[in-house]
A and B are shown apart, each in its own frame.
Chain A
């Protein structure tokens, strides 16, 4: 294996020994060598500076010294961080250009799945006593090809006075909600939370069907009729 990395890789391209690099997204280890697992450009980043590997990369070793099974290569990283290898598709880097709702240029963009702490935009589809069902339409900056099922539990609507929250006073079907994924959940639901100031309903229509604007942290006002409706309002930017 040459010591220099190839500029791009295809699935199965050998990138380097696992002792010299850390495997990142788009790579995998086979017989202690790192291989690419998608077709794209190869990047090597030292883990502290790079945005994709968050600083929490290390804690498993520092927080739990008693854990016996921590893989040895991870221990090495404490002394000398190994560069993290990632293979990513080009067009994913440009993001919005190619990731349209219509999916311009078939195959463009990395398929996205919501993960914990992703900020998502979702539409409310159903209200229950204890939860609101939503469909996740946007994850981070990317529009999903297909919506994901999500759920906001009553206790995750607000940060304070959780006991007094009523689902029907926080959301209505059709509202657009900004939330954060707190758990990948069971079966098919992702769990969302709106228990932060900047999270909550960002767009809503009144019962009359008109657009509304937020007036307080818990109320929207119909622009035409002036009627007030209760919501968990997201702090406008």
Chain B
């Protein structure tokens, strides 16, 4: 796993072995036995908690982990860049924009502004970590790349040729990370973005921007309806955490479950453009399972305190340990993840009626309800 500090597993080998054997049952027995492998831990969510932001949300998990996200939009002057024709056009970000077949700056782009990656800034703060520690950096970059890949958000930040919105998304974990906080942070960010509003623009074209001071007139950052009046399906991405234990796949693991995982996968997904159901993948990252750092159990046969004989040399110990097939002795997992398992996870996440769809729907329901 990314960070070495919170990943530090402090469970005894006997506990690890116990957890592993319960999670590898079919169906797996989870730590909270009322939950199935696809179930998320129950949580408490609310939005619009910070009045001085454009959008905010707070989600608390039952283990006490709590995240707070504030989205703040500020008007910023766009950078000017001389074009080859000597005409001034907005500099264009290159990359993920699929729909723009031709972006070499020859065509007029006044009609539709294009956003830049730099207009969105995500910072993640976790108590007990420095800003440049591995965990916050990793979380921030995963959140950023999912957000940038998932749609036209950055294009909506375009005001006119001279100005744009700069979106600052500040993610705060209010408690020390008791479990791997990625999914929690992404859900909170999702909710904050979903409920974020930008003041309505009153000025036209390339004038200095002037905004309506009526908050009721503000436009949502993620409009519910597109220009044609149809429902807009563009929503912020969410990231789902899944672990594999043997052939079982378990979603939203708690700390103890994470500790015995063979592999951990974070899947970022956004609602699919094409249909109202299902989702599409915008990013995948593996996370190092903390089990790699756990101590292997000393089997009774090798422990002088339990009537066994301690091996005389490390070479000997190695042979005995490798031959160990007795169940109930914890051995840290080795190697990686089978590709078939990854595709199983992704299809469970983004398939029809998959986990992503349900989570997005549940978060949507908060705003509606």
Contact = CB atoms under 8 A, between A and B. Distances in A.
B128 interface: no
B175 to A, nearest CB: 30
B312 A28 contact: no
B309 A59 contact: yes
Contacts of A57: 316, 319
Given A23-B318, A25-B318, A54-B316, A67 B323 contact: no
A54 B307 contact: no
Most buried by A among B307, B325, B328, B335: B325
B319 A71 contact: no
Contacts of A115: 313-314
A53 interface: yes
A69 B300 contact: yes
A60 interface: yes
A230 B349 CA distance: 74
Contacts of A74: 320, 323
Most buried by A among B300, B301, B326, B334: B301
Contact of A24 (B309, B315, B325, B326): B315
A71 B307 contact: no
B49 interface: no
- Main SS at interface, chain B: loop
Contacts of B319: 22-24, 53, 57, 84
Nearest to B299: A69
B358 to A, nearest CB: 36
Given A30-B335, A74-B323, A60 B314 contact: no
A129 interface: no
Given A30-B335, A59-B309, A64-B307, A23 B326 contact: no
Q: How large is the interface on A (under 10, 10 to 19, 20 to 34, 35 or more residues)?
A: 20 to 34
Contact of B309 (A63, A69, A72, A113): A63
Contacts of A22: 319, 323
Contacts of A69: 299-301, 326, 328-329
Contacts of B318: 23-25
A128 interface: no
Nearest to B328: A69
A29 B323 contact: yes
Contacts, number: 81
Interface string A24-51: 1101111000000000000000000000
Interface residues of B, number: 25
B316 A71 contact: no
Given A54-B312, A60-B301, A117-B313, A67 B320 contact: no
A87 to B, nearest CB: 12
B311 interface: yes
A96 B307 CA distance: 40
Given A30-B335, A60-B302, A69-B329, A117 B322 contact: no
A210 interface: no
A197 B329 CA distance: 41
B13 to A, nearest CB: 14
Nearest to A70: B301
B96 interface: no
Interface of A: 18, 22-25, 27-30, 52-54, 56-57, 59-60, 63-64, 66-74, 84, 86, 113, 115-117
Given A22-B323, A72-B325, A116-B312, 15 more contacts: A29-B322, A29-B323, A54-B313, A54-B316, A56-B313, A56-B316, A60-B301, A60-B302, A60-B311, A60-B320, A69-B299, A71-B301, A71-B324, A73-B325, A115-B313
